[in-house]
Amino acid sequence: MREALESLRTEALAATEAADQLEVLRDLKVKYLGKKGELTSVLRGMGKLSAEERPVIGSLANEIRSQLEEALKTKETHLEELQLDEKIREEKLDVSLPGIVNPIGAAHPLAAVIEEIEDIFVGMGFEVVEGPEVETDQFNFEMLNIPKDHPARDMQDTFYITDDILLRTHTSAAQIRTMLEKGGNTAVRIISPGKVYRRDDDDATHSHQFTQIEGLVVDKGVSMSELNGVLLTFIEKIFGAGTEMRLRPSYFPFTEPSVEVDIYHPEKEWVEILGAGMVHPNVLAKAGYNPERYTGFAFGIGIERIAMLKYNIDDIRHFYQNDLRFLKQFRSV
């Protein structure tokens, strides 16, 4: 019986040593130590032994059991570690792999310039309002002191939809809408950006559709010197401190006096960037403001002109062609 136990020990330890998978170990445990296992069945023969032999064999069997248990446990731990190592190796992330680049868009240069101008005027207490691109002849012309036969209509060749409805030729129509809305006894301090349309042949400096920002201030005691201060602040903010500005007398039917405003550009010298003036008393009156009590100033800024000067763009058509090579240059604007 001793031999049987010893050879079982040798065989079981060798099998444990050779096991290379956790499942194999589990089977060995059942095979040798399980209820119907080999060690158990050897011990079942103990009854046939003499009284002296019984404790000797019993203690040998216990020794073998704990030795085998120990060996199985050690091997199990070892195999589990190997398995974990393998898993870690498989799941390893290669952080040096190039990432997935999600293309990020950027604001169109005109949108970016409008936003910049809005910020400047909001900083001076202006409110931003928007008007419709399809306008009435009434708001686009008549109420701005430009009657049907007025020669100023020739300067703004118009896309008419019907006799009375048109594509607005300037954002000045927003002046009338705002004043009517405010009701004739509230101060007005607004800018209004948007697209405008004229029947022009497109070339490097003309486009049948372009962008303006209108400005309007109406209150008691508004003066030309305030207009001057507001415009100079705007120009220095957008083109840099120290940028020179000059006002030239001009004519617009809706302002009196009227001016055209130039800035000094190092290469192009004096360049016109906007029209402005004191709101004509007729315009105030038509829109419900008593010109005896209220005065106002207005201005109209050409956005493309500003953007072209600011970023040295030589052809207005670049803005509308959506060529990515052009647009990508404004990523950080």
275 binds ligand DAH (CB under 6 A): yes
CB 221 within 8 A of CB 203: no
207 binds ligand DAH (CB under 6 A): no
CB 172 within 8 A of CB 300: yes
- In this complex, which beta carbon is closest to ligand DAH, that of residue 38 or of residue 272? 272
Candidates 277, 287, 289, 308: give the one binding ligand DAH (CB under 6 A): 277
CB atoms within 10 A of CB 269: 9
Smallest distance from the beta carbon of 293 to ligand DAH, in angstroms?
20
Q: Which two tokens stand for residue 78?
A: 């070892």
Give me the residues paired with residue 218 across strands: 188, 296
Smallest distance from the beta carbon of 298 to ligand DAH, in angstroms?
3
Near ligand DAH in 156-175, by CB under 6 A: 170, 172
CA distance to 90, 129, 130, 221, 307, per residue, from 191 (Å) = 62, 6, 8, 19, 18
- In this complex, which beta carbon is closest to ligand DAH, that of residue 61 or of residue 227? 227
CB atoms within 10 A of CB 75: 19
- In this complex, which beta carbon is closest to ligand DAH, that of residue 37 or of residue 300? 300
Candidates 179, 300, 308, 319: give the one binding ligand DAH (CB under 6 A): 300
Residue of this chain nearest to ligand DAH (CB atom): 300
145 binds ligand DAH (CB under 6 A): no
253 binds ligand DAH (CB under 6 A): no
37 binds ligand DAH (CB under 6 A): no
Candidates 141, 234, 299, 319: give the one binding ligand DAH (CB under 6 A): 299
- In this complex, which beta carbon is closest to ligand DAH, that of residue 28 or of residue 298? 298
- In this complex, which beta carbon is closest to ligand DAH, that of residue 19 or of residue 298? 298
